[in-house]
A and B are shown apart, each in its own frame.
Chain A
Amino acid sequence: MRKIDKTPFWATAFANYIKEYNNKFGHHPVYDSSKNAYYNDIYYNLLFCQRGLCAYTEDLIDDTIWKAVPQNWEKGKYIGKTLKLDADLEHFDPKLKDKQGWDFDNLFLVKIYNNRKIKLGKDVHLFFKPDLPNYNPKKYMEYNFLTHQFVPLNDLSEDLYTKVDYMIDTLGINAHSVISNRRQYLLEIKITLKNEFVAFEIYQNERLYKFFTAFEMSKFDLI
């Protein structure tokens, strides 16, 4: 789970609406993904911030339209192409869903399976949030190339180790389908580096488009 920069923000119509509503009622409107006029604004804004990837697993959600998102806004509303993607808006901290359900900071775009089958409103440890200014995956976990699983860093305190282990599990970072895709992608890269004599850094800069963290952490296994 790599760091996410949420500063690119165009959904100003949504932001104004939420601000006004909050000022009036002291809380956000009820979160209902299918009935909110601003849903797509947040969805596609996040798709860009996350570079078309799932916020937690870095698996690919879309590689066709996310780059064009910045050019497709009118009066703070997204007017670009919409697709049926394998991703849901997800509340990182489920406790905020009731009264602060439209808090942009708490929302991420994640794979449908991870949202609906794995996370399912489970409690979270707030330090393990990908858009925090001081979040860095290398501080908490490492990648095991043999099994293609992320594991907590061994030298973490026992308490932190347990919490990181819990968060890896809760966010579905090691879900079987994710491991399967990650393994396939990294093995393909390994063969490419080996047979096409492509340097690790060149691949990283020019071709890599998903599973960035696993790639970086697997440098010695890949070259």
Chain B
Amino acid sequence: MKVRSIELDGYNQFKGVKIDLTYPKGHEKAGKPLQKVCFIGQSGTGKTSILRLIKRFTTLDNRIGNNLTIPDFKKDSVKMELQLFDLDWKLTSKENTLSFVYCTDNKLNIETKQFINKRDHFKNQLKPFLINFPVETIFLNQVYTNETERMAKKLLGIINDDYSEDLNPKQVMDFGIDAIDKTFELLLKEIAEHRAEEIIFKNKISEEALKVNSNSEDIEKANNKYREWLKKNPNPLEKLANNILNEVLKPLGLKVKTDLDKSAVLHINNIEIQTLDGQDIPYNFWSTGTKHLINLLIPLYELKPNNAIVLIDEPERSIYPDMQRMIVDKCVRLGTDCQYFFATHSPIIASSFDPWEIVELKFNEANTHIYQEQYYTGERHVDNYKFNPKYMSWDSILNEVFDIEGDGNPERQRKINELAKVNQRITKKKLKESKETLLKDVDYLKDVEDFKILANQLKWNLGSVEI
């Protein structure tokens, strides 16, 4: 599913906002829905509200948390154009309900009832068609316990294949409503099952070895059976670790624990991590950033979203800038033909987007309403955008995209100004005096020395580019 446009007029503080979410003219995908979108703007400009509206309009579910619902709509204050395979339709707010309008020019040329059936049929094929990671994502809440009996029951359940029968993939995975650890049971089901099988095989090998009349042939036989099974059923935890998690955990000095020891058996349906030299890190000691990365990447990896909408609010939270650099691309790579919506305050996150993928929301001068800042002049064409965050330095993004004045602490500006004055004195003296005179001029030499000190303090980043 994709969102093609959003119109907001009279909803919260939005006034006359029409967000075009298609590629502009001149782009090879001109007119098609954007693959990824980044909302930026001052706190309170409605980034999160728009993510919630997307969820509301695509799922028809107005819950935004376990005890919260989206406030009532005014008539026509929100309009959204949606697309799913060949179908286009439009939804309009109608005093807390949604009024449905399907596009008459849809390729299938069918009546409304058929249209809805067709749309719902398509929707049902997508599990999930929406994944939501709100800021209030309910963290994985592993409980480290010695309740071996409980774990044994769980293990037995897996062996008997009646492990969480209700764990079917859902159409909507909303981590603001569903506790992520419950969802992890589903996501990591394959891993848990594999572990359980592995335990059975290992147990059989031990049984053979412990028999009073054990012989090496039987032990070898059991061992070979295990190896054969392992060959046919590669460890999914190792796949998860090698394909996605270890790459992001390594810079944090961590890796996924893949050994099947006592702790792993007790936490059969959880992911455990350890230091690079193999020391276990109990869940309660995971950093917030580590939890965030794992909670974000595992669902995307395991769900393998296809044609889904993925909403990620503040992907940068609690993660270091080096990780922010890669998080957008990592998320986008994990789905096929999906549409991703991010909301951020980070210039590093914004640098992963083309200008047509950024929606900047701003307060008007009187701070009474919110509008969308346009980055192009004239026709909406790839050539008419005044900048591209992908080509800009992060401080330029802060200046041009986030409207932040300055390139550092005000003290830096004062230092540059001081340096400019010293530099002018040096330049002027050089025009007037000979080299011999200058090299004996104490004031000149002091200026030369001061210039170097100031330039070093400014790391020779003097706000200029030599040509």
Contacts and interface: CB of A to CB of B under 8 A. Distances in A.
A154 B424 CA distance: 8
Nearest to A150: B420
Given A147-B462, A187-B467, A176 B424 contact: no
A183 interface: yes
A175 B405 contact: yes
Contacts of A149: 416-417, 420, 463
B145 interface: no
A151 interface: yes
A147 B406 CA distance: 14
Given A113-B405, A175-B405, A176-B407, A183 B420 contact: no
A117 B420 CA distance: 23
Contact of B425 (A146, A154, A187): A154
Contacts of A142: 424
A147 B467 contact: no
Interface size class for chain A? 20 to 34
A147 B464 contact: yes
Nearest to B421: A151
Contact of A146 (B396, B407, B464): B464
A147 B405 contact: no
A200 interface: no
Nearest to B408: A176
A51 interface: no
B413 interface: yes
Interface in A151-204: 151-152, 154, 174-177, 179-180, 183, 187, 190-191, 194
Given A147-B464, A176-B399, A190-B467, A154 B428 contact: yes
A148 B465 CA distance: 10
B423 interface: yes
B419 interface: yes
Contacts of B420: 144, 146-147, 149, 151
Interface in B416-452: 416-417, 419-421, 423-425, 428
B467 to A, nearest CB: 6
Nearest to B412: A176
A2 to B, nearest CB: 19
- Residue among A147, A148, A174 with most chain B CB within 10 A: A147
B416 A147 contact: yes
A152 B423 CA distance: 12
Given A174-B417, A176-B399, A176-B413, A145 B464 contact: yes
7 contacts: A117-B405, A147-B463, A149-B416, A151-B420, A154-B425, A176-B399, A176-B406
> What are the 5 A-B residue pairs with the smallest beta carbon separation, nearest first?
A144-B420, A149-B420, A147-B420, A176-B406, A151-B421
Interface of B: 396, 399, 405-407, 413, 416-417, 419-421, 423-425, 428, 462-465, 467
